[in-house]
A and B are shown apart, each in its own frame.
Chain A
Amino acid sequence: MKNRIKIKALVGALDLQADVTFSDEMIIISGENGAGKTTLLRCLAGLETARGHMLVKQQLWLDSAADFVLPTQIRHIGCVWPDAALLPWLTAEKNITLGIDQVDDSWLNLLAERLEITALMQRKPHMLSTGEAQRVALVRAIYRKPSALLLDEPFSAQAPAIRQRLRAVLKAVQVELNIPVIMVSHDREDAEMLADQHWRMREGRLLTQAFETSVNRKLQA
């Protein structure tokens, strides 16, 4: 359990608290609307102000005791948000490689093929469906070989058949890159088929599977 997150954050009306450890594995977060799933991801990405401690892939992201915050730009993360946020004047390919000087074509082509966007690479975003744009955003997040993937319902716009294939791809990517993947999902199948850890959120609190198991045991006793 080398990754550790222990944070508190006040964002709008939400009082978020999370205290978890995890290894480089697949983590699914579920919970009601407004429970704080997206806010938790945004705190991890450094897009919201949180206090506490975050250590991911042996890199310190946050240490409020020492007044340290690693800026989002150098956390080296890959993110997919509900808004694909593709720049409309760039092709899918240029969106993926935005800000990258030396493009690794074989890695790019491999990812494009696995996420089924090879034929879309030269299209601009207005020529992409929502689902296609979402897959381009996924490739953009993965391409840079991040030290963590933060995904907010990354399959929400995908048809069931392709969703199944994408799960397998995502799992393979997680293993290959050997990184934690933290993914918000309302789809029970995502949790059942992917989750090494399953976090549930309620009213800003994070309940890990382990926590729930111990509660269940107490209830049974």
Chain B
Amino acid sequence: MMESLWISLQLALVTTIILLLVALPLAYILAFKTFKGRTALEVVVALPLVLPPTVLGYFVLLMIAPNTGLGHLWQSAFDHSLAFSFSGMVIASVLYSLPFAVQPMQQSLRAIPDSWLEMARTQGLSLNQTLIQVMLPAAKGGVLVAAALSFAHTMGEFGAVLMVGGSIPGETKVASIALFEFVEMQQQSEAWMLALILLGVSFVMLSVVYTLNRQGSNPGIFK
């Protein structure tokens, strides 16, 4: 049981870190740029919200199978299959939680007053300086919410990781899958314990999100 929780935590942590790096440029583009294919990009980013996780997992599995380009490349580089591995689950989790990371960041970037961005321009700040010294601190709340939501959402993932990871004990069997198997095998006390822990994690993460959100809508966050 602890093993599966540990895998879930690792998966959530790695996924969150990767998501912050991937989602920030996406959020920036969606918040400020107009271009052809913008709507398509928004739809793709939002797809995991409505797609059955098994469908997403199935496509990821097809994408990383050893007979595909990506799967083959991985196999020859690391000498193990990407499918049914931790790394494969990371790919699925990143895609699965993408909207939960992009949307809060996009909203908080969008909420930066125009006057601050214009001030950065007239004061001669470079794009990098504007990003690091104006935009990121201003959107700090959204970035933290994105991290908390990505983490919590990955902890609770089931269908996509089952499809891609295959529930290999000690490798890809995460807590939510372990819970399912405990129930199937009528191990009630273990099921109870794991369910309570997962409930606790979700509760704590959502409390963090709501606290940040309240501060974000109040300039007090900067005081």
Interface residues of A in 29-80 (CB under 8 A from B): 45-47, 71-79
Interface of B is mostly: helix
Contacts of A75 in B (CB 8 A): 122
Contacts of A89 in B (CB 8 A): 137, 222
- Between A and B, how many residue pairs show CB distances below 8 Å? 60
Does any Cβ of A come within 8 Å of B186's Cβ?
no
Docked-complex contact A47 and B121, CB < 8 angstroms: yes
Docked-complex contact B223 and A85, CB < 8 angstroms: no
Given contacts A85-B113, A85-B115, contact A99 B223 (CB under 8 A): no
Docked-complex contact B124 and A85, CB < 8 angstroms: no
Q: How far is the CB of A84 from chain B (nearest CB, A)?
A: 9
Does any Cβ of B come within 8 Å of A171's Cβ?
no
Contact of A85 (CB < 8 Å), options: B118, B133, B219: B118
Docked-complex contact B122 and A79, CB < 8 angstroms: yes
Does any Cβ of B come within 8 Å of A215's Cβ?
no
**Contact digits for B127-141, partner A, Cβ 8 Å, 1 yes 0 no:** 001000110011000
Contacts of A150 in B (CB 8 A): 122
Docked-complex contact A126 and B134, CB < 8 angstroms: no
Contacts of A81 in B (CB 8 A): 115, 118-119
- Distance of A83 Cα from B115 Cα, bound (Å): 7
Beta-carbon nearest neighbor of B119 in chain A: A85
With an 8 Å Cβ cutoff, the count of chain B residues facing the other chain is 20
Beta-carbon nearest neighbor of A72 in chain B: B121
Does any Cβ of A come within 8 Å of B126's Cβ?
yes
Q: How far is the CB of B16 from chain A (nearest CB, A)?
A: 24
- Distance of A47 Cα from B120 Cα, bound (Å): 12
Docked-complex contact A73 and B115, CB < 8 angstroms: no
Docked-complex contact B123 and A140, CB < 8 angstroms: yes
- Distance of A221 Cα from B219 Cα, bound (Å): 62
Docked-complex contact A87 and B134, CB < 8 angstroms: yes
Docked-complex contact B125 and A72, CB < 8 angstroms: no
Beta-carbon nearest neighbor of A82 in chain B: B115
Docked-complex contact A77 and B122, CB < 8 angstroms: yes
Q: 7 closest Cβ contacts across the A-B interface?
A: A88-B222, A85-B119, A89-B222, A85-B115, A99-B125, A72-B121, A79-B122
